[in-house]
Amino acid sequence: AIACCLCCLPCLAGNLDFIVPFITELFLLMYTSINFSCFLLSVMREPSWRPSFKYYHWSISLFGTLYCFTLMIVISWYSALAVIVLACFLVLYIKTQDASRNWG
């Protein structure tokens, strides 16, 4: 939803070159987070984590995390910084909301 909203304004203005690095950084941050989650679950040996891929190893997830993060910095370091700050603010906003959880 955030990416969609951020794409609409430059599309209407006619300049997509401004928003392309930002959207790329959003996707790379998502892949970085997924790889880091897989790495962390493997290293912590969570019983609920059972990857079905036959050749899975935790080092592949660590490599994917480092590779995606490096690509973020190489493509556009200022967009990477903006996306990371935006993600941190989003996490803080979600944590500060005192939503009651109904677990059933």
Q: How far is CA 91 from CA 20, 22, 33, 39, 86, in A?
A: 23, 19, 13, 20, 9
Q: Is pLDDT above 80 for 76?
A: yes
* 17 or 39, greater pLDDT: 39
What are the pLDDT digits (tens) for 16-33? 777 788 889 999 999 999
Q: Is pLDDT above 90 for 68?
A: yes
Q: How far is CA 80 from CA 40, 41, 44, 59, 86, in A?
A: 22, 25, 28, 24, 10
Percent of the chain's residues with pLDDT above 70: 92
Q: How many CB atoms lie within 10 A of CB 45?
A: 8
User: Which pTM was predicted?
Assistant: 0.78
As a whole number, mean pLDDT of residues 90-101 equals: 83
